[in-house]
Amino acid sequence: MTLNFETMTEQQLWAIANPIMDNLMDASTQRNHARHVRDFTERLKGIVTPDYLTCICQQYQAEKGYFTTRTPIAILRRPDSAAILWKQRFTKAPGEFVAEMVLVYRDGRYLVDHVMVL
């Protein structure tokens, strides 16, 4: 089945993306690799190994603290994916950061092919 992200409404995409990002952030806080990568594409799973996740979590938690509020900014649609953007805040670092996720549809599931907070 082919899915065109350009035909989906923002409401549909936020409803898909928010629970996935909630899980990613909670699993990251808990440093739970299996849960963190459960919605990743195989490509991204190959990058985010248990050691890599531990290193990234130690770094951001020491510098910025933990994730707090996340506010939707925008969705950028392409036929085969959507880039989802939020404003993200942390417990220790002041100001607003960008949380970004690229959502794809593979084998009947919505999956994350890229994700970052900067």
Q: If you compute the radius of gyration of the chain from its CA atoms, what whole number of angstroms results?
A: 14
Q: How does the average pLDDT of the chain come out, rounded?
A: 96
113 with 104: CB under 8 angstroms? yes
Asked if 64 contacts 106 with a C-beta cutoff of 8 angstroms, the reply is no
Least Cα distance to 67 among 33, 44, 107, 96 occurs for 96
Report whether pLDDT(1) > 60.
no
pLDDT digits (tens, 9 = 90+) for 32-83: 999 999 999 999 999 999 999 999 999 999 999 999 999 999 999 999 999 9
Q: How far apart are CA 9 and CA 19, in angstroms?
A: 17
Architecture of domain 5-117 in this structure: Roll (3.10)
Q: Render pLDDT for 41-51 as a digit per residue (tens, 0 to 9).
A: 999 999 999 99
| Res 104: pLDDT | 98
Amino acid code (one letter) for 23: N
Query: Does residue 2 carry a pLDDT above 80?
Result: no
- Report pLDDT for 3: 87
Q: CA-to-CA distance for 103 and 109, rounded, in angstroms?
A: 10
For residues 14 and 5, the answer to whether their CB atoms sit within 8 Å is no
